[in-house]
Amino acid sequence: MNKPYILLVEDNPDDIELTLRAFEKNRIVNDIVVLRDGAAASEFLFDRIGDGRGLPQVILLDLKLPKISGLELLEQIRAHESTALIPTVILTSSKQEEDLVEGYRLGVNSYVRKPVDFNEFVEAVRQVGLYWLMLNEAPPTAGGGL
């Protein structure tokens, strides 16, 4: 069995660093794979299906990504049987209502706006980690090798 990990899809280096620091500060010890654009994340996920390596336990997805947007990536994830049930959380600074609505229409599990204040951001990441990694009962295919 493959070790559970978190997939963070984020292009902003500052937000990557803040997220990693927030996980560390909250003692969330899962491995974190960071990909900086939607195309790289799509290739990563679908290559893992083909070679039998494990899928992430949860995907943290920014919306404003190069090459393939977060919403387009979410649509790809939900369209494929092997990835459709992976818990996916949009973690974004977008305050556009249409992004929120479209994310839920495409099947996101949760939509979290990134707080600007570091301490609030750390708390938001703690809550996301606690829920999706500890409390949530994921479907048997999510995070496992297919």
Whether 143 is covered by a domain: the verdict is no
CATH number at residue 124: 3.40.50.2300
What are the tens digits of pLDDT across the range 6-39?
Answer: 999 999 999 899 899 888 888 888 899 999 999 9
Whether 60 shows a pLDDT value over 80: the answer reads: yes
Give the range of the structural domain holding residue 33, as residue numbers without chain letter: 5-135
Whether 142 is covered by a domain: the verdict is no
Whether 146 is covered by a domain: the verdict is no
**What pLDDT does residue 64 have?**
93
Helix-helix angle 70-79:38-51, to 10 degrees: 20
Whether 141 is covered by a domain: the verdict is no
How high does pLDDT run on average in the chain? 87
Whether 67 is covered by a domain: the verdict is yes
What are the tens digits of pLDDT across the range 115-136?
Answer: 888 888 888 888 888 788 777 7
Q: Domain count of the chain?
A: 1
Whether 145 is covered by a domain: the verdict is no
Q: What is the mean pLDDT of residues 79-94?
A: 92
> What is the distance between the alpha carbons of residues 58 and 89, in angstroms, rounded to a whole number?
8
Q: What is the mean pLDDT of residues 91-116?
A: 91
Percent of the chain with pLDDT over 90: 52
Whether 89 is covered by a domain: the verdict is yes
